[in-house]
Amino acid sequence: MTGKYKVITLCGSTRFKDAFLEQQQRLTLEGNIVLSVGMFGHSGDDALWTESTKAMLDDMHKRKIDMADEIFVINVGGYIGESTRSEIEYAKRTGKAVRYLVDK
């Protein structure tokens, strides 16, 4: 497949690192450009996690949503935390499609 690729930003709690990596691989192999988180603050990168870092990464993730055609929410077990909820609301406000790993 060559040509126009859909851009998908992954959103969800960084505690679900394995699910992020699995979905990133699956969506890529389906022919999508996948944007993901830069760190897994709740899954091993916590030594680098500060409030200022979190604020920067939250803002940066919204810019990734700006670049995307849609977001894919990694909501293992149906879990959606506060940051992810904010990203979903932002995506909807900016006209992005929202899909979920686990149907709501």
* DSSP string of 49-71, one letter each residue: --HHHHHHHHHHHHHHHHH-SEE
* Residues in the chain, pLDDT under 50: none
Q: Which two tokens stand for residue 102?
A: 């686990």
- The reply to whether 96 falls in a domain is yes
> In the prediction, which pLDDT does 40 show?
77
Range of the domain at 54: 7-13+20-100
> Does 41 reside within a domain?
yes
- Compute the distance between CA of residue 14 and CA of residue 20 in angstroms, rounded to an integer: 8
The confidence score (pLDDT) of residue 42 equals 52
Range list of H helices, 1-104: 17-29, 51-67, 82-93
Asked, for residue 2, whether it belongs to a domain, the answer is no
Whether 28 is in a domain gets the answer yes
pTM score > 0.85 for this model? Answer: yes
Quick check: is 1 in a domain?
no
- For 29-52, write each residue's pLDDT tens digit: 999 999 999 877 655 555 555 667
Judged on CB neighbours under 10 Å (0-12, 13-18, 19+), 76 is middle
Structure tokens at 5: 């690729």
Residue 78 lies in a domain: yes
Residue 35 in any domain: the answer is yes
Q: Is 71 in contact with 10 (CB distance < 8 Å)? A: yes
What total of structural domains would you count in the chain? Answer: 1
pLDDT of residue 56: 85
